[in-house]
């Protein structure tokens, strides 16, 4: 079972603790991840210890007692404990099997020492987890789990087996949603909430949306989450629609809602603060008519500057026809306004900064 974590959903605090169920579970989530990493280090150290000594019986004994006991596979007897302690005597192993074989030459640490260090850290993490587990055991708040597949639904406590799930279904724990009631979870996750676990969900307005969490995550990645029901257009069997964010010609789902797509509105907003971008006043790509009355589109400032220099140079070189010179100048002027605005300068002052570049272009092309 995997886990996901962002910001918490419910702000309801636990009586007597001044903290929320999500606070507790997100801390448990963090500590359990760290504990799992230390357990993996312990497993790896045992495996390396047996491999480097070259003795199968050493690897077997260590794996059986150190690993098997943790997973309930073998009984830890006094005899087994004594044997393991003897094998974990670094000096003894080094005397018997020749000093270097138990050293990780990459990190310069013995595998026995690596095991003991990871074990100490794992034990410390377990001590930190114990009081958090006691808080949960005392209150037993609702926990939410997301099915790990495309479009998977959000289910409540796994001990209430949902009829839409199977033994093979894989879940991801969503600790930030812990303690959330039905209204809060539907507002956050919308149509992804299981209507069997939350029977009243379909009647809630938020259930018809993608939910606040999906919108926030999509916007953070520069996407529009979709889910909006739009007018469907058809062309030779293709179905498409337009989004309110400005994106056009998008594929739509069978129910007439838009799929997740790049947000034009967010792209335009990003251009307004990007020093290397060029744009119209609303942040959309800059579109101007060139000297031949063809529409040119620019998104990068350097490209628009290059076009300005070329247009001004072509208006001055000797081989340009006289009736074309005014067209090149007009094209350059249409570029100068947005470029000057992007630089925070007056148009005349900005054009003065480009004189040398234009002169150099004229010299190269004459």
- Over 142-191, what HEC string results? CCCEEECCCCCCEECCCCCCCCCCCCCCCEEECHHHCCCCHHHHHHHHHH
Pairing, β 171-173 against β 2-3:
parallel
Q: What is the pLDDT of residues 129-139, one digit of tens each?
A: 999 999 999 88
Residue 73 has pLDDT above 50, yes or no: no
Higher pLDDT, 111 or 144: 144
- Cα 155 to chain center, whole Å? 22
Q: Are residues 21 and 117 in the same domain?
A: yes
Higher pLDDT, 145 or 167: 145
Q: Are residues 51 and 129 in the same domain?
A: yes
Q: Are residues 263 and 285 in the same domain?
A: no
Domain end call among 215, 230, 258 = 215
Q: Are residues 202 and 118 in the same domain?
A: no
Sequence-distant (6+) residues with CB within 8 A of 324 are 291, 314
Q: Are residues 103 and 198 in the same domain?
A: no
Q: Are residues 23 and 118 in the same domain?
A: yes
Domain end call among 84, 104, 139 = 139
Q: What is the pLDDT of residues 217-242, one digit of tens each?
A: 777 778 887 666 666 677 666 777 88
Q: Are residues 240 and 295 in the same domain?
A: no
According to the model, what pLDDT value does residue 104 have?
Answer: 39
Cα 252 to Cα 194, 242, 244, 248, 297, distances in angstroms: 23, 9, 14, 11, 27
List phi, psi (to 5°) of 37: -65, -40
Count of domains in the chain? 4
Q: Are residues 6 and 131 in the same domain?
A: yes
Q: What is the pLDDT of residues 265-292, one digit of tens each?
A: 888 888 999 999 999 999 999 999 998 8
3-state secondary structure of 219: helix
Q: Are residues 116 and 24 in the same domain?
A: yes
Query: What distance in Å separates the CA atoms of residue 320 and residue 238, rounded to the nearest whole number?
Result: 47
Maximal C-alpha separation, the chain:
103
Q: Are residues 280 and 308 in the same domain?
A: yes
Q: Domain of 257?
A: 221-273
Q: Are residues 253 and 226 in the same domain?
A: yes
Q: Are residues 96 and 151 in the same domain?
A: no
Domain end call among 139, 164, 180 = 139
């Amino acid at each position: 079972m995997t886990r996901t974590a962002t910001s918490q959903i419910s702000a309801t605090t636990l009586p007597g603790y001044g903290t929320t169920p999500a606070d507790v579970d997100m801390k448990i989530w963090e500590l359990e991840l760290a504990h799992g990493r230390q357990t993996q280090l312990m497993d790896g150290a045992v495996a390396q210890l047996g491999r480097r000594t070259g003795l199968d019986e050493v690897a077997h004994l260590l794996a059986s007692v150190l690993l098997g006991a943790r997973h309930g596979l073998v009984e830890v007897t006094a005899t087994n404990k004594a044997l393991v302690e003897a094998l974990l005597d670094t000096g003894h192993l080094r005397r018997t099997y020749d000093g270097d074989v138990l050293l990780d030459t990459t990190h310069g640490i013995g595998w026995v020492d690596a095991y003991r260090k990871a074990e100490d850290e794992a034990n410390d993490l377990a001590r930190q987890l114990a009081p958090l587990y006691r808080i949960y055991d005392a209150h037993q708040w609702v926990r939410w789990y997301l099915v790990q597949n495309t479009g998977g639904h959000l289910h409540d406590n796994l001990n209430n087996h949902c009829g839409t799930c199977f033994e093979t279904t894989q879940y991801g724990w969503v600790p930030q949603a812990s303690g959330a009631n039905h209204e809060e979870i539907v507002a956050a996750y919308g149509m992804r909430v299981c209507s069997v676990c939350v029977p009243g969900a379909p009647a809630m307005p938020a259930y018809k949306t993608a939910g606040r969490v999906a919108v926030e995550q999509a916007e953070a990645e520069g996407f529009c989450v979709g889910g909006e029901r739009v007018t469907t257009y058809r062309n030779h069997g293709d179905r498409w629609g337009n989004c309110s964010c400005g994106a056009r010609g998008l594929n739509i789902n069978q129910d007439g809602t838009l799929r997740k797509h790049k947000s034009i509105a967010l792209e335009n907003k990003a251009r307004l603060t990007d020093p290397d971008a060029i744009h119209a006043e609303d942040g959309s790509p800059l579109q101007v008519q060139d000297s031949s009355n063809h529409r040119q589109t620019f998104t990068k400032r350097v490209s628009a500057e290059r076009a300005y220099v070329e247009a001004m140079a072509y208006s001055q070189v000797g081989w340009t026809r006289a009736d074309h010179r005014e067209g090149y100048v007009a094209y350059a002027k249409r570029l100068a306004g947005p470029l000057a605005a992007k630089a925070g300068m007056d148009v005349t002052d900005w054009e003065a900064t480009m004189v040398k570049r234009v002169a150099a272009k004229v010299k190269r092309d004459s």
